Amino acid sequence: MSTRLFGAPIKRKEDPRLVTGGGRYLDDLGHGALAAAFVRSPHAHARVVDIDADDAFELDGVLGIYAHDDLPGKVGEPLPLLIPHPALTHGRTGYALARDEVNHVGEPVVMVVATDRYVAEDACQRIRVRYEPLPVVVGIETARDGAARVHSDVPGNVAAHLTQVVGDVDAALASAPHTLTLELDIERSASTPLEGRGVYARWDDERDELRMYSSTQTSTGVRAAVAAKLDLPLAKVECIAPDVGGGFGVKIMHPWPEEVLVPWAARRLGHPVKWTEDRREHFVAAAHERGQLHTVTVGFDDDGHLLGLDVKFWHDNGAYTPYGIIVPIITSTQLLGPYKPGAYRVKFWSLYTNTVLVTPYRGAGRPQGCFAMERTMDAIADRLGLDRAEVRARNFILPSEMPYDHGLLFQDGRPLRYDSGDFPATLSKLKALVGWDDFATERAAATAQGRKIGLGIGCYVEGTGVGPYEGSHVQVETSGRVNVSIGLTSQGQGHETVFAQIVADELGVRMEDVFVTTGDTRKMGYAVGTFASRAAVMSGSAVALAARQVRAKALRIAADALEVSADDLEIVDGTVQVKGAPSASMTLGTVSVLSNPLRYAFDEAAQAATQFAGTFDPDRPPVAAGDEPGLEGKDFYSPTQATFANGMHAAIVETDPVTAEIRILRYCVVHDCGPMINPLIVEGQVHGGVAQGVGGALYERMVYDESGQLLNASFMDFLMPYASEVPTIETDHLETPSPLNPLGIKGAGEAGCIPVSAVIASAIEDAEGFAITRMPISPSELWGLRRRYAAGEITPLRRASPRSEPADRAEEPTP
Partner 1 sequence: MNEMLHEVTLTVNGVRRTASVPARRLLSDFLRHDLTLTGTHVGCEHGVCGACTVLVGDEPVRSCLMFAVSAQGLEVTTVEGLGLRPDARDCATGQSMNPVQQAFTECHGLQCGFCTPGLLTTVTAYLDDHLDPTSDEAREAISGNLCRCTGYQNIVKSVLRAAEIKAERRAPDAAEPGEPHPGPVAAEGVPS
The residue (of 690 and 760) whose beta carbon lies closer to partner 1 is 690
CB of 480 to partner 1, least distance (A): 15
Name the minimum Å distance from CB 193 to partner 1: 6
Per CB under 8 A, does 5 bind partner 1?
yes
Interface with partner 1 (CB under 8 A), residue from 1, 59, 158, 564: 59
Q: Are 426 and 396 in contact (CB under 8 A)?
A: no
Whole-number Å distance between alpha carbons of 102 and 134: 9
Judged by beta carbon, residue 434 or residue 729, the one nearer partner 1 is: 729
Minimum CB distance to partner 1 smaller for 223 or for 251: 251
Residue 76 · residue 95 · CB < 8 Å: yes
Residue 726 binds partner 1, judged by CB under 8 A: yes
Q: Give the type of residue at 656.
A: D
Tell me the closest approach of the beta carbon of residue 192 to partner 1, in angstroms. Answer: 6
Residue 750 binds to partner 1 (criterion: CB under 8 A): no
- Of 278 and 706, nearer to partner 1 (C-beta) is 278
Contact in structure between 200 and 274 (CB atoms under 8 Å): yes
8 A C-beta contact, residue 586 and residue 556: no
Residue of 147, 171, 174, 194 that binds partner 1 (CB under 8 A): 194
Among 1, 7, 23, 630, binds partner 1 (CB under 8 A): 23
Per CB under 8 A, the segment of 19-27, 102-110, 467-475, 567-575 that binds partner 1 is: 19-27
Among 338, 360, 363, 494, binds partner 1 (CB under 8 A): 494
Site for partner 1, residues 441 to 480, rule: CB under 8 A: none
The CA distance from 778 to 653, in Å, is 14
CB of 215 to partner 1, least distance (A): 10
Residue 485 · residue 528 · CB < 8 Å:
no
Q: Does residue 602 bind partner 1 (CB under 8 A)?
A: no
Q: Nearest approach, Cβ of 10 to partner 1 (angstroms)?
A: 6
Q: Measured from the CB of residue 190, what is the shortest distance to partner 1 in angstroms? A: 11
Rg of the chain in Å (alpha carbons): 29
Q: Does 681 bind partner 1 (CB under 8 A)?
A: yes
Provide the sign of the torsion angle of the four alpha carbons 376, 377, 378, 381, taken in this order. positive
Distance CA 502, CA 474 (A): 11
| Binding pattern for the stretch 510-539 against partner 1, x by CB under 8 A and - elsewhere | xxx---------------------------
Contacts of 581 (CB under 8 A, 6+ apart): none
- Buried b / exposed e over 148-176, threshold 16 CB at 10 Å, is ebbbeebebbbbbbbebebbebeebbeeb
Give the angle subtended at the CA of 399 by the CAs of 398 and 401, to the nearest 5°: 70
Residue closer to partner 1 (CB basis): 79 or 713? 713
Nearest to 333 by CA among 156, 154, 466: 466
β-pair partners for 276: 198
From the list 25, 469, 636, 789, which residue makes contact with partner 1 (rule: CB under 8 A)? 25
**21 or 792, CB closer to partner 1?**
21
19 binds partner 1 (CB under 8 A): yes
Strand partners, 516: 484
Residues 6+ apart with CB under 8 A from 774: 184, 185, 186, 187, 781
For the stretch 116-122, contacts whose Cβ atoms lie closer than 8 Å and that sit 24 or more positions apart, written own/partner, are: 116/35, 116/61, 117/35, 117/37, 117/276, 119/35, 119/59, 119/60, 119/61, 119/62, 120/35, 120/36, 120/37, 120/62, 121/37, 122/59
d(CA 307, CA 304): 9
Q: At 777, is the secondary structure helix, strand, or coil? A: coil
In one-letter notation, the amino acid at residue 41 is S
Is 687 a binder of partner 1 (CB under 8 A)? yes
Cβ density class 740-760: b for 16+ within 10 Å, e for less: bbebbbbbbbbbbbbbbbbbb
Q: Is 161 in the site for partner 1 (CB under 8 A)?
A: no
Q: What SS3 class is residue 662?
A: strand
Beta carbon of residue 242, minimum distance to partner 1 (angstroms, whole number): 11
Beta carbon nearer to partner 1, 251 or 417 = 251
Q: Is 729 in the site for partner 1 (CB under 8 A)?
A: yes
Q: DSSP of 18-75, one letter per residue?
A: HTTT---BGGGS-TT-EEEEEEE-SSSSEEEEEEE-HHHHTSTTEEEEE-GGG--GGG
Please report whether residue 728 would count as binding partner 1 according to CB under 8 A: yes
**Binding of partner 1 at residue 809 (CB under 8 A)?**
no
Which of 722, 791, 792, 806 binds partner 1 (CB under 8 A)? It is: 722
Q: Which is nearer to partner 1, 10 or 184 (CB)?
A: 10
Q: Name the 3-class secondary structure at 660.
A: coil
Kindly state whether residue 57 participates in binding partner 1, applying the rule CB under 8 A. Answer: no
What are 51-55's contacts with CB under 8 Å, separation 24+?
A: 51/109, 51/110, 51/127, 51/128, 51/129, 51/130, 52/127, 52/128, 52/129, 52/130, 53/110, 53/123, 53/126, 53/127, 55/126, 55/127, 55/128
For the chain, how many residues are written? 815
Smallest gap, in angstroms, from Cβ of residue 809 to partner 1? 42
Number of residues that bind partner 1 (CB under 8 A): 66
As measured in angstroms, the least distance from the Cβ of 510 to partner 1 is 8
CB of 120 to partner 1, least distance (A): 13
- Give the Cα separation of 100 and 616 in Å (integer): 72
Taking CB under 8 A as the criterion, the residue among 289, 310, 654, 683 binding partner 1 is 683
Shortest distance in whole angstroms from residue 679 CB to partner 1? 9
Binding segment toward partner 1, per CB under 8 A, in 17-25, 132-140, 558-566, 573-581:
17-25
Closest CA to 650 of 565, 784, 762: 762
Contacting range for partner 1; rule: CB under 8 A; set: 25-33, 36-44, 324-332, 385-393: 25-33
* Contacting residue, 752, 755, 776, 796, with partner 1 by CB under 8 A: 752
Binding window for partner 1 (CB under 8 A); candidates: 9-17, 431-439, 534-542, 628-636: 9-17
Q: Assess 493 for contact with partner 1 (CB under 8 A).
A: yes
| Of positions 64, 91, 94, 193, contacts partner 1 by CB under 8 A | 193
The answer to whether the CB of 278 falls within 8 A of the CB of 299 is no
Q: Judged by CB, which is closer to partner 1: 368, or 491?
A: 491
Could you give the string, one character per residue 196-235, with x where binding to partner 1 holds by CB under 8 A and - elsewhere? ----------------------------------------
Q: What are the backbone angles phi and psi of residue 183, rounded to the nearest 5°?
A: -105, 125
Please report, as residue ranges, which positions from 228 to 257 form the binding site for partner 1 (by CB under 8 A). 243-246, 248
- Closest listed residue to residue 547, CA positions, set 588, 489, 502, 510: 502
Q: Which of residues 200 and 349 has its CB atom nearest to partner 1 in the complex?
A: 200
Residue with Cβ nearer partner 1 (187 or 496)? 496
C-alpha–C-alpha distance, residues 254 and 83, integer Å: 11
Q: Find the binder of partner 1 among 128, 130, 279, 663 (CB under 8 A).
A: 279
By the rule CB under 8 A, 271 interacts with partner 1? no
Closer Cβ to partner 1, 728 or 804, answer by number: 728
Closer residue to partner 1, CB minimum distance, 319 or 691: 691
Count of C-beta atoms within a 10 Å radius of residue 6:
19
Rounded to whole angstroms, how far apart are CA atoms 507 and 509?
6
Contact between 700 and partner 1 per CB under 8 A: no
Provide, rounded to whole angstroms, the least separation between the CB of residue 695 and partner 1: 9
| Binding footprint of partner 1 on the chain (CB under 8 A) | 3, 5, 8-25, 27-28, 31, 59-60, 116, 118, 192-195, 243-246, 248, 278-279, 491-494, 510-512, 680-681, 683-684, 687-692, 714-716, 720, 722-724, 726, 728-729, 752
